[in-house]
A and B are shown apart, each in its own frame.
Chain A
Amino acid sequence: MASATPPAPGRSRRLSDRGLAVAFISPALLLLLAMSVFPLLWALYLSFTDYSATRGGPAHFIGFGNYTAILTSAQVHQRALTTLIYVVGAVGLQTVLGFAIAYLISRRTHGRGLLTTLFLVPMMLSPVVVGLFWRFMLDAQFGVINSMLGSLGLGQVEWLTRQRTALISLIVVDTWQWTPFIMLIALAGLTAVPKYLYEAASIDRASEWFRFRTITLPLVWPLLLIAVLFRAIEAFRLFDLVYILTNGGPGVSTETLSFHVYKVAFLGFNTGTASAYGILMVLVVIVLTQLYLRYLNKLKEG
């Protein structure tokens, strides 16, 4: 009869577990350091220099010169305002529409799955593809939208080449693509509302509006706000749709902050300035997100 092997001493066993954990985590950690942390720190360092990626040469330390230039630039202020209008317009519209669609779908008992799937299709497409086909559809001369307007006896609209309509077009296209995202999250919230609350309200003969205002909305609101947060961050760094649909035009009237950073980084290869610009954008998102999350926490506690 073979004797049982005694278990390894506790100390070496703990080391072995630890080694295993390190072995599992290290590749991911190294990848994260190499692909995220290192570039971020490098960008942070470059943001204090006059470095240019194409001109080469050593980077000269210039302190907060790049940050001062960006924060005092009228061009940056103009792009910030454009971005703000876009973010508020697009996310606001998506929230209202997304919630409305989710509310209507949640009330259906038949075909809910099919409807949800159909509504999700735009979200599955690449923004570049979306941009390209909307560019064709919105073309003033050859586009299907103006063709439809013409058949209704309405005049042609210069969707992408007029200052106001260009920004509205961007908002509409973004809304078309991302309303399903809000809808999906709102739908999850709506289906999670306990039915007994509605049953109790029915017994009390509460009106539809009363039930919506006092049961549905308060319970779905925190989830909706998280969806708004995700969408706002995404919209803040809008680039692809602008690039395809308007190229920032007419003039620079639809040039967002992200598009402007791209120009600074790749047209003049002012890498130091572009790095500072990027760091500032990240900081803005972090600060606003923190404030927003605090509000969410308060809401949760309340």
Chain B
Amino acid sequence: MSAPGRKVRLATAAMLLVATTVTACGDGKDDDGKASAPKAPATIPELTKDPLTLSFVWFDWPPAQALEAFANAEYKKERPNATIKVNTVPNANWHDAMFTQFAARKTDFDIAILDSQHIGEAVTNGNILDLTDFVKNNIDVAAYNPYLLAAYGQFPQAETGKRDENASLYGLPLLGDTWTMIYRKDLIGDKPPQTWDEMISVAETCQADNPGVSGLAFHQANGSDAAAVTYNTVNGVYGGNLWDPKNRKIEGVLNDAAGQEAMDVLVNKMKPLTAKGSGNWFIDEVNAAVAQGKACIAFNWIAASGGLLDPKQSTLGTTREQILDKLGFATLPSQKTNLVPLGGMGMHVSAYSATANQAEALNFMKWFERADIQKKWAAAGGVPSRTDALESPEFLNAGPFNQVYTDSVPRMRDMWNVPEYARLVDIENTNVNAALNGAKKPKDALDDIAKEQQGVLDSSSRKGGGGL
């Protein structure tokens, strides 16, 4: 019998390879591809006595370093064998860094610090543990502002935004946050503007009176959620809505009269008061402008504002006191409403972490949410979510902007907490950035956002050709 020819052998090898490929694609899940988050044990399992590293993943900013230092100093007192490691990635890679590992069903982190909007994607994909039973047995939920607990842990989120006692919880608060208005007391006076219109007017006067100093500084960048949060904030204070969650409608809601007015205010009234070329500014650039005395009024996340008081990073004074003579921090001005953006993140246990590490993660979370530890976290520079910690002297005296956060909690509004979040925010971010930088007319940008986002929501269950 003659040996098979070269072409036959090659064809057989190719067929085998394709067959292997096709077989490898199935992973045994149900036909809809839906997965539900695995449940965490209701009580903390026995903890290991062996040395253990509890890994977090977050983006690179001061609170990440603060968390690692704080946890290693305090948690080690109770668990000397545990070391805390906070792995950081650039903000723009944060979502990808977590979800590509989730996609591989293997993570090098035990606790993912998810943005509130990431929860839906992680829950529907079965990437994080369902903590409902654990929370019932270990956490005093009444100690929290219900909106914060819902924002950082609940899915699906209630239409009211407040926590639904019957809904499942997948995370617990780590760091609360919102925007603060930073204003130059030496340029505009001690009293911060109370309305958005007044703020624009004050910024206009300040810019005219102080050559080289721009009236406003805020986030406009194309990456992450920078420009999107800016528009959402203005949309909120001018009475707009991001969507109708009950009917999953964005088109006709976001771009209604209030939405159009907000876009007009942002692009035609606020943008001209910013520094030339600031269309790609995010957290660091806004802080730099304030620290170098280049802005009369600025907006930034509270958790990222600590560096503004560091004389080494500022030209406003050689001591913290001198800087505070010039800088004031206030809650955002109101207009038709008094809404402010919700920031911050929760802690979520990776479903792919080792059993011993999951147990340690649950123990850490229970420890972290204790009243005394929350106050210590506040004193260390963190922003707590427990009401008693928020109102404690430890927190309110720890930074000049902490009172701003406590006052802002009842005014917060979050974005859409749905599994399609990453695509929705990219659509909004690129279009708002385009409008702010003259690449698109404001009205066109808003209509495009509404149309494209509606398309994403409508097609999320459709098969094929998605994501363009």
Interface of A toward B, CB cutoff 8 Å: 33, 37-38, 41-42, 45-46, 49-60, 62, 65-66, 68-70, 73, 75-76, 139-142, 146, 156, 158-163, 243, 246-253, 255, 263-264, 266-270, 272-274
Determine if A69 and B468 form an interchain contact, defined as CB atoms under 8 angstroms apart.
yes
Q: A50-B464, A251-B431 are in contact. Are A267 and B27 (CB under 8 A)?
A: no
Determine if B121 and A54 form an interchain contact, defined as CB atoms under 8 angstroms apart.
yes
Residue B417 CB within 8 A of the other chain: no
Residue B52 CB within 8 A of the other chain: no
- Cβ–Cβ < 8 Å partners of B294 in chain A: 141
Q: List 27 A-B contacts (CB under 8 A).
A: A33-B17, A41-B17, A41-B18, A45-B25, A49-B464, A50-B463, A55-B35, A55-B125, A56-B126, A58-B29, A59-B25, A65-B463, A65-B465, A141-B276, A142-B288, A146-B277, A156-B277, A161-B278, A247-B280, A251-B435, A266-B95, A267-B95, A267-B426, A268-B456, A268-B466, A272-B464, A273-B466
- Cβ–Cβ < 8 Å partners of A50 in chain B: 463-464, 466
Determine if B467 and A273 form an interchain contact, defined as CB atoms under 8 angstroms apart.
yes
Determine if B33 and A269 form an interchain contact, defined as CB atoms under 8 angstroms apart.
no
Determine if A249 and B437 form an interchain contact, defined as CB atoms under 8 angstroms apart.
yes
* Number of B positions contacting A (CB below 8 A): 62
Determine if B439 and A56 form an interchain contact, defined as CB atoms under 8 angstroms apart.
no
Please name 5 further chain A to chain B contacts, defined as beta carbons within 8 Å, in addition to the given A55-B35, A58-B33, A249-B221, sorted by A numbering: A55-B124, A56-B126, A158-B279, A163-B438, A267-B467
Determine if B422 and A54 form an interchain contact, defined as CB atoms under 8 angstroms apart.
no
Determine if A160 and B31 form an interchain contact, defined as CB atoms under 8 angstroms apart.
no
Please, how many angstroms separate the alpha-carbon atoms of A273 and B462 in the complex?
A: 13
Determine if B21 and A42 form an interchain contact, defined as CB atoms under 8 angstroms apart.
yes
Residue B146 CB within 8 A of the other chain: no
Determine if B27 and A57 form an interchain contact, defined as CB atoms under 8 angstroms apart.
yes
CB distance from B401 to the nearest CB of A (A): 25
Residue B406 CB within 8 A of the other chain: no
- Cβ–Cβ < 8 Å partners of A76 in chain B: 468
Residue B77 CB within 8 A of the other chain: no
- Return the CB mask of B451-468 against A: 1 if under 8 Å, else 0: 000001000000111111
Determine if B33 and A55 form an interchain contact, defined as CB atoms under 8 angstroms apart.
yes
Q: A57-B30, A66-B465, A273-B467 are in contact. Are A266 and B99 (CB under 8 A)?
A: yes
- Cβ–Cβ < 8 Å partners of A33 in chain B: 17
Determine if A266 and B434 form an interchain contact, defined as CB atoms under 8 angstroms apart.
no
CB distance from B163 to the nearest CB of A (A): 26
By DSSP majority rule, is chain A's interface helix, strand, loop, or mixed?
loop
By Cβ-Cβ distance, the 8 closest A-B pairs, closest first, are A140-B277, A57-B33, A251-B434, A69-B465, A270-B467, A161-B279, A65-B464, A249-B222
Determine if A248 and B430 form an interchain contact, defined as CB atoms under 8 angstroms apart.
yes
Determine if A273 and B32 form an interchain contact, defined as CB atoms under 8 angstroms apart.
no
- Cβ–Cβ < 8 Å partners of B30 in chain A: 57
Residue B102 CB within 8 A of the other chain: yes
Q: A69-B465, A70-B468, A273-B467 are in contact. Are A251 and B125 (CB under 8 A)?
A: no
Residue B1 CB within 8 A of the other chain: no
Residue B142 CB within 8 A of the other chain: no
Q: CB < 8 Å: which of B32, B92, B126, B464 contacts A62?
A: B464
- Cβ–Cβ < 8 Å partners of B29 in chain A: 56-58
